[in-house]
């Protein structure tokens, strides 16, 4: 008997597995690699919604928990995955500068928005109005995180690379059984794959397709993340990750010509040098229309749970949401009503 079965090991599943380890709980993870939103994610963490100059929900707490989480994971894996980098928001007008200063005066944003206009000259970027710097930002190398963490779990026989068969799951009052396993609880953290899950497919997980590039631009010399209509993230060796698009209709992970052209056009709005597209990839983010995660317990089965809907901010959200779900299951701590999956309970 183990304490938990976790189905899915993207950011949500890894965060929950790490929370269980931190609390000396046993588990087995199932992963079939059908979802790739974590692998193709930009990986940025940013406490401010730059489009509207507003604070991300619970940003301060999420950043603190995420910082502890990634430090712990890096120590465990002996690998750096968290890279602290400033985000510079390029200003296109004096009006945007004024909007920035207005936002930075707000108590909930003062911690995150520098009041100094940055006038650093970057080759291949024309920025006569300068930049605003967002504080407490950076990115997580999600590919390295997944690969290394999965290997860590696999080495300890806590990882099964196989499709989870819902029809084989047996639910009893005090435990669940699956194949040769018995567990006190099961947590589904399947991302957009939740639509195939008979226990939770009633939930309104929408899904938003995002497309990204890795480009090579030898004449671009930025050492920060530049964010306007897209972000440009330096990877080293003249390589940069660029993204992302938002498509609410297409639910496939296939790169498109439309997405490609949109990214090219937006890159050309920011940089003036030539660039080469090295990679073009796509994935579907597990988003919810009310922009809140889906956490909680099945309305009928008390030992079947969900951790999903982390959307575009999984790097920041996952550690906090994993702790919330753990405290809810193990300690009876109520979930915030805005993230409780039962807000969508059917009669």
Give the model confidence (pLDDT) of 127-181 as tens digits. Answer: 999 999 999 999 999 999 999 999 999 999 999 999 999 999 999 999 999 999 9
C-alpha–C-alpha distance, residues 241 and 278, integer Å:
10
* Domain coordinates in residue numbering, the chain: 2-41+143-204+289-344, 86-136+208-285
For residues 28-52, average pLDDT = 87
The predicted model gives 285-304 an average pLDDT of 94
Task: For domain 2-41+143-204+289-344, give its CATH number from 3.50.50.60, 3.40.50.300, 3.20.20.140, 3.40.50.1260.
Answer: 3.50.50.60
Element (H, E) at 318: helix 314-331
**Residue in 298, 110, 327, 133 with CA at minimum distance from that of residue 225:** 133
Is the pLDDT confidence value at 346 over 70? no
Provide the CATH number for the domain formed by 86-136+208-285 in this structure: 3.30.9.10
The confidence band for 347, taking pLDDT boundaries of 50, 70 and 90, is very low
For 320, other C-beta atoms within 10 Å of its C-beta total 20
pLDDT at residue 191 is higher than 90: yes
**Average pLDDT score over residue span 20-29:** 98
Q: What pTM was computed for the model?
A: 0.95
Distance CA 154, CA 305 (A): 23
Angstrom CA distances, 75 to 23, 72, 82, 149, 159, stand at 17, 5, 11, 12, 20
Instruction: Name the average pLDDT for the chain.
Output: 94
- List pLDDT tens digits, range 110-122: 999 999 999 999 9
């Amino acid at each position: 008997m183990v304490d938990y079965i976790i189905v899915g090991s993207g950011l949500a599943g890894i965060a929950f597995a790490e929370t269980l380890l931190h609390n000396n709980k046993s588990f087995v993870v199932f992963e079939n690699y059908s979802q790739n939103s974590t692998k193709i994610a930009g990986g940025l963490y940013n406490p401010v919604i730059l489009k509207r100059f507003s604070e991300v929900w619970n940003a301060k707490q999420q950043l603190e928990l995420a910082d502890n989480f990634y430090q712990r994971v890096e120590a465990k894996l002996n690998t750096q995955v968290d890279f602290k980098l400033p985000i510079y928001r390029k200003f296109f007008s004096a009006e945007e500068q004024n909007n920035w200063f207005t936002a930075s005066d707000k108590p909930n944003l003062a911690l995150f928005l520098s009041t100094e206009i940055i006038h650093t000259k970057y080759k291949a970027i024309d920025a006569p109005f300068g930049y605003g710097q967002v504080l407490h930002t950076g990115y997580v190398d999600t590919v390295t995180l997944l690969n290394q963490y999965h290997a860590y779990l696999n080495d300890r026989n806590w990882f099964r690379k196989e499709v989870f068969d819902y029809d084989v799951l047996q639910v009893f009052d005090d435990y669940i059984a699956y194949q040769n396993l018995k567990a006190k609880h099961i947590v589904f953290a399947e991302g957009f794959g939740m639509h195939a899950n008979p226990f939770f497919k009633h939930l309104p997980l929408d899904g938003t397709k995002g497309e990204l590039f890795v480009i090579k631009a030898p004449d671009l010399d930025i050492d920060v993340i530049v964010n306007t209509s897209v972000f440009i993230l330096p990877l080293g060796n003249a390589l940069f990750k660029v993204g992302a698009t938002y498509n609410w209709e297409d639910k496939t992970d296939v790169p498109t010509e439309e997405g490609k052209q949109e990214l090219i056009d937006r890159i050309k709005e920011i940089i003036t040098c030539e660039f080469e597209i090295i990679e073009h990839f796509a994935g579907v983010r597990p988003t919810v229309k009310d922009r809140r995660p889906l956490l909680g317990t099945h309305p009928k089965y008390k030992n079947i749970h969900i951790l999903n809907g982390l959307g575009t901010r999984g790097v920041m959200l996952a550690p906090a949401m994993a702790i919330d779900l753990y405290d809810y299951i193990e300690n009876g701590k109520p979930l915030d009503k805005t993230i409780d999956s039962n807000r969508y309970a059917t009669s």
